[in-house]
Structure 1
Amino acid sequence: MISVPGRRAIRLPGRRTASLSSTSSISLLRTSSLASPTSSSCLFAMANTTRKHHSRRSIHSSERRTSTVADLPGTLPPIPPQDVAASNRAPLSVLPLSMILRSLATTVVSSSPILLPPSLRIMVALAHAKNPVLNPDMNPLLRFFLKKSFYAQFCAGENAAEVRATISRLKDIGFTGVILGYAKEVVLESSDAKDMAKANLGEETARDIEKEINPWRDGTLETVRLAEPGDFVALKFTGAGSLALHQLKNRLLPSQHLGESIDAICELARDRGVRLLFDAEQDMLQDGIDDWTMKFARKYNDSPETATIYGTYQAYKKNCPAVVSRHLADAQREGFTLGVKLVRGAYLGSDPRECFHDTKEDTDACYNSIASSILARQWSATVQGEGEFPNAHIVLATHNVESVRRARAICDAGGAKSDIAFAQLQGMADEVSCELVEASQSAQKENANARPLPVYKYLVWGTTGECMKYLLRRAQENKDAVQRTRNGRDAMWGELVRRCKSVVGMA
């Protein structure tokens, strides 16, 4: 069990980010990978929609800050500004020089209006390449270049040895562990599509099992084996193919072989002490995903000390508080533990606009209030219920430094009653992650009994070619998160300058 007992308050820097443009602030509503395969390409359509609604505050931008931490249930007064002079250690100092240089190069390209467009066009071509020259898995020279640059920035490795080495390096830096995903995606050939058109989608066929369900099951099982006890594995039900998509859309139970495959994944995860994060997806599928999530949570979350199954809740959706409250009521009534992965959201462009909060500040308030209620195990106006709060554990998957600071305030004040894990994408928001790691290490130096803060990095594994679509989404996300990318670039440059000064005795 990962818990965060009360300890002396250690605050993250009180730096506020610059105001975001309509497009750049979209990314703050997404978790990093925790981002969807389709969301990046849809953001521009949403940006156009928000311009049509200029008469009211946009969901993507806000001129005022959200409520203070004192307004949230179970918390203490607002966080005082940090005494920067009291902290002599730069958070990014925990990273090796190779990661600093690679991150700097990546963010320089991502934040450049000149370099990024052609880079994106190249990555699109590589991600959808059918020509052997452009296929990284078939072109050794291309594979070498990509693997040493973008692949190394965001991915864990191509095989078990590389994945384990990456996990070990991250833990040596100070991260608690990883959230590991399998990069390979199910691709339907034209002949498969014709077969599907003739088949009854409600029935499980040999083709479904052989070409879609089994590859997804085997890849996910291997991912669970690669993860270490205490780590997480992220998975999408739609990765199991067209039959799963049909069943989710129509809120049907998983078919026999698919259900047995999910059971096999859950059983292996529980036996190995690995936790599963069931990803949220498009709104038309989400009710079905919630049904499946709760079905397996009832079966496998039978210990109050930990949760094997975590559902994903998107705080930018207006119905998120009601869904969280309903699932907590089910857990309370039926005596199982609820696992919550809380994100802002990833389907702004593809889901109906009426699903979302009207403004970004409303989304932020929803996110922070849900996080506070679950962390403190206290009912609130947002998370409503009666009686004793059920056992719950939470993963805060966010790059938003203010949300991280609010949760830290509760933990530092000793108000955290639920286990918590902080999560950011590997290769992104490193300044946020490293602030948590540095604060945790400082607390342990001052108090040997202080437990480390649970900080996780999300990354995928697979061959360079298999990871190209994932890398393309990360590049597109950096394009949308202009200000955040520039902040990351500036942080990496500042750390490099600090190290250079230190070498010549000027630091």
Structure 2
Amino acid sequence: MSVTFQRVSFDDTAAAFSFRDDRELKRIYWLFWLMNLGWLTHLAKYLIPVVIRLHLPVKKWIRNTLYQQFCGGETLEDVMQTAKRLDNAGMHIILDYGVEGKETEEVFEHTCAEYIRMITYAARESNIPFIAVKMTGLARTQLLEKLHAQHTLSEAEETEWQRACQRLERIVKEAVQHHIGVMVDAEESWIQSPIDEWVMKLMQTYNQQTAVLFQTYQLYRTDRLALLKSHVHQAKENGFILGAKLVRGAYLEKERKRAAEKGYPSPVHASKTATDQDYNEAIQYCMNYLDHVSCCIATHNENSCQLTIQLMEEKQIPPHHPHVCFSQLYGMSDHISFNLSKHGYRVCKYLPYGPLEDVIPYLMRRAQENTSVAGQTSRELRLIKQEIARRKAMQLVR
């Protein structure tokens, strides 16, 4: 049976910004205009965490700008309104509790309970097929670093790691019962390997019939494409479905700085071109093995999205195929998300929530990401400006 495809244009501003009213659109325009000033974003990355710690009166400004743009609210109850709006706009959600890097067992247990609460909430909604989980929300960073370096753990540390693993498995078991997917976010390279190993072990148990658990592959790392191919091979050999979320990566400066300070080769590609090549090859590889891979194309790169569409057309893979979805961050690249959705593709907005102080690291990464890709913010600004002008012209016609 043949599948009919329509060419997707990311320039359709009416579709791209249908989710936003006139007031929101103007607010976003000015926020992106400020973020397009690279020096200001760079300065804010260092200043905002400091002024928050000093309790200076900036929370209201942050809440009304960065936080409102990139987060759904402080609590799960707060996020429900945003989730409903996205549902009305035909958009799916990856729900994320944006707390990370904590250090106590009490906080880890609270975070685990919150993830489980997210799953039961998502199960009641029609547009929340996934939640996102960070292992640094369930285990100490120092413990993960020690495991990654293959250092011998003390008896207490072994017990601590077992508790962390049990937390993730409890989350996955709950997700299986409620038919919700769990996407485990990638972390820094020096704590990633124990996460990779445990997630793969759980996949072999819980991804037998469908992909419940997803591993995140940061393709700006020089070793991730080979790892992805190895994991696909393991899935084929062992009869389970690999859940693969493909991203470029979020810790570029930190990775390069640490490598330089400690005198080891940088684990990330030297150029964006090399990253793009690996990312696009990862898409092609996954498309060749959709019987064994369920993939999330999580990117703000238009070329990678168009490549995926082209491959799906060539292979007669329907836009709504259950093993292919796209994802962009809430507050970014609406011109990609809503135009893909308009043409029948499965699209999820990654929607974080949490107390403002706790999501500052996430907000700083988003602001930096918006300025790190050459021309991306400028393109969004142009499209927003076009949509504002289009709406004014429509009002004049009336």
Is 1:399–1:429's contact at 8 Å kept on the other side of the alignment?
yes
Alignment pair present for 1:283 and 2:179: no
RMSD: 2.8
Match of 2:208 in 1: 302
Distance 2:39 2:186 in 1: 34
Query: Offset of 1:172 from its aligned partner?
Result: 1.1
Q: Which amino acid aligns with 1:499?
A: R
Q: Could you say which residue in structure 2 is the equivalent of 1:400?
A: 301
CA gap of 1:243–1:14, structure 2 versus 1, over 3 A, is: closer
Task: Give the number of the structure whose residues are more often helix, by fraction.
Answer: 2
**1:120-140 Cα shifts (integer Å, max 9, x gaps):** 5653334x4243x5474xxxx
Say if 1:317 and 1:113 are closer, same or farther in 2 by CA, change over 3 A. Answer: closer
Contact 1:310 1:340 in 2 (8 A): yes
The letter for the 1-side match of 2:307 is R
Structure 1 position 459 matched with structure 2 position 351 = yes
- Indicate which of 32, 35, 54 corresponds to 1:107: 32
1:164 aligns with 2:68: no
> Residue type of the partner of 1:179?
I
Question: 1:385-410: per-residue Cα shift (whole Å, max 9, x none)?
Answer: xxxx7521000010000000111122
Q: Which residue of 222, 244, 250 maps to 2:117? A: 222
- Name the structure 1 match of 2:262: none
Q: Structure 1: how far apart are the matches of 2:351 and 2:243?
A: 20
Quick check: 1:209 aligned with 2:124? Answer: no
Q: How many residues align?
A: 375
Indicate which of 143, 156, 171 corresponds to 1:243. Answer: 143
The answer to whether the Cα contact below 8 Å between 1:336 and 1:391 also exists between their aligned partners in 2 is yes
- Shift in Å at residue 504 of structure 1? 0.3
Counterparts of 1:480 and 1:361, CA distance in 2: 14
Task: Note if 1:153 corresponds to 2:73.
Answer: no
Match of 2:199 in 1: 293
Q: CA deviation at 1:102?
A: 2.8
Deviation sequence 1:384-441 (CA, Å, 0-9, x none): xxxxx75210000100000001111223445337711100111111111122123x2x
- State yes or no: 1:233 paired with 2:131: yes
In the TM superposition, residue 323 of structure 1 has moved relative to its aligned partner by 1.0
1:410 aligns with 2:311: yes
What 5-or-longer segments of structure 1 have no aligned partner?
16-86, 137-141, 189-207, 378-388, 441-451
**Structure 1 residue 314 displacement after superposition:** 2.1
Cα displacement (A) at 1:345: 2.3
- Partner Cα separation in structure 2 for residue 119 and residue 282 of structure 1: 22
Equivalent positions of 1:8-407 (< 5 A) are: 8-13=4-9, 90-97=14-21, 98-112=23-37, 116=41, 123-126=48-51, 128-131=52-55, 133-134=56-57, 136=59, 142=60, 145-175=61-91, 177-188=92-103, 209-210=105-106, 212-227=107-122, 228=125, 230-239=128-137, 240-241=139-140, 242-250=142-150, 255-303=161-209, 306-349=210-253, 350-351=255-256, 352=259, 353-377=265-289, 391-407=292-308
Shift of 1:14: 8.0
Give distance in 2, aligned partners of 1:481 and 1:362.
14
Q: Which residue of 2 aligns with 1:485?
A: 377
Which amino acid in the other structure matches residue 209 of structure 1?
Answer: E
- Calculate percent identity across the aligned residue pairs: 27
Q: 1:319 to 1:468 in 2, by over 3 A?
A: closer
**Closer, same or farther: CA 467–457 of 1 in aligned 2, 3 Å:** same
Q: Secondary structure at the match of 1:157?
A: coil
Distance 2:358 2:179 in 1: 27
Distance in 2 separating the partners of 1:357 and 1:118: 25
Amino acid at match of 1:180: L
Q: 1:418 to 1:231 in 2, by over 3 A?
A: closer
Per-residue displacement from partner, 1:182-209 (whole Å, max 9, x unpaired)? 1223445xxxxxxxxxxxxxxxxxxx53
Alpha-carbon deviation of 1:255? 2.9
Name the CA distance, whole Å, in 2 between partners of 1:265 and 1:454.
24
Counterparts of 2:161 and 2:130 in 1: how far apart (Å)?
A: 25
Deviation at 1:223, TM superposition (A): 3.0
User: What do residues 74-129 of structure 1 show as CA deviations (whole Å, max 9, x unaligned)?
Assistant: xxxxxxxxxxxxx8x73324222144223212111111368656655653334x42
Contact 2:250 2:365 in 1 (8 A): no
Deviation at 1:249, TM superposition (A): 4.1
Instruction: Return the offset for 1:214.
Output: 1.4
1:479 & 1:358 partners in 2: Cα distance? 18
Aligned residues of 1:375 and 1:418 also touching (Cα < 8 A): no
Contact 2:93-2:350 within 8 A present in 1 as well: yes
Aligned to 1:56: none
- Could you say which structure has the larger radius of gyration? 1
How much has 1:455 moved relative to structure 2?
0.7
TM-score by length of 1: 0.67
Which letter does structure 1 place at the counterpart of 2:130? Answer: F
Q: How far apart are the structure 1 equivalents of 2:273 and 2:373?
A: 17
Deviation at 1:472, TM superposition (A): 2.5
1:424, 1:108 → 2: CA distance?
20
Question: Structure 2 counterpart of 1:364, which letter?
Answer: D
* 3-state SS of paired residue (2:4): coil
Q: 1:469-480 counterparts in 2 under 5 A?
A: 469-480=361-372
- Partners of 1:371 and 1:181 in 2: how far apart? 24
Query: Does structure 1 residue 432 correspond to structure 2 residue 331?
Result: no
CA contact (8 A) 1:307 1:339 kept: yes
TM-score, normalised to structure 2, is 0.84
Give 3-state SS (helix, strand or coil) of 1:365's partner: helix
Change in Cα spacing, 1:250 to 1:236, as seen in structure 2 (3 Å) is: farther
Q: Which has the higher contact order (CA 8 A, sep 6+)?
A: 1
Describe the shift of the 1:7–1:502 C-alpha distance in structure 2 as closer, same or farther (beyond 3 A): farther
